[in-house]
Structure 1
């Protein structure tokens, strides 16, 4: 197993609805023990070295999966995808 970070991105000008918050809770519950770090929501951000986009970092979580394809399959159920956001999946490299 390897650890993967899910970097959630969303338009900071759009407030989440109660329905969206419920969908996030249900998704994390479905992921179950694959989630090793529930992460956190992110507030204000500053992007350096690249053009700013509408989808700013809005949160992260860490999951265990066998490989990048398996981690990506877990991320495909992310509720943010249904609400105009995105999720970037990246393998964590032990130091």
Structure 2
């Protein structure tokens, strides 16, 4: 089985009530995937982008807001698991990429 990183893009919950409800959905989603979840990951804080010229700019639009790592048979299998992610309810998206062994 290969490992896949899920990069979450979208706004995190803003109020304690939203956060509590959101966490219940995330935990249920992770439990539903069982052993496929090798690292639940973490949310990400504010970010900036560093260009090749060394210039630092604010990240525009599709900022990374968290990640998780799954084990799956294929990219399509990982995508199928990502389809149930709670971030979609908040208008977010999930980027799925295979982690290449080194």
Please tell me the TM-score bracket, short chain as reference: 0.7 to 0.9
Structure 2 unpaired stretches of 5+? 52-58
Larger Rg: 2
> Corresponding residue for 2:78?
71
Contact conserved, 2:25 with 2:86, CA < 8 A, in 1? Answer: yes
Size of the alignment, in residue pairs?
A: 93
Structure 1 unpaired stretches of 5+? none
Q: Distance in 2 between matches of 1:11 and 1:56?
A: 9
Q: What's the CA shift string for 1:44-83, capped at 9, x where partnerless?
A: 211345x711x32111010000000000000000000111
Secondary structure, counterpart of 2:49 in structure 1: coil
- Give the structure-1-normalised TM-score: 0.87
> Corresponding residue for 2:9?
9
Which 4+ stretches in 1 moved above 2 angstroms? none
Secondary structure, counterpart of 2:48 in structure 1: coil
Q: Distance in 2 between matches of 1:47 and 1:29?
A: 33
Q: Distance in 2 between matches of 1:74 and 1:26?
A: 13
> Corresponding residue for 2:40?
38
Q: Distance in 2 between matches of 1:10 and 1:77?
A: 15
Root-mean-square deviation (CA, aligned residues, Å) is: 1.9
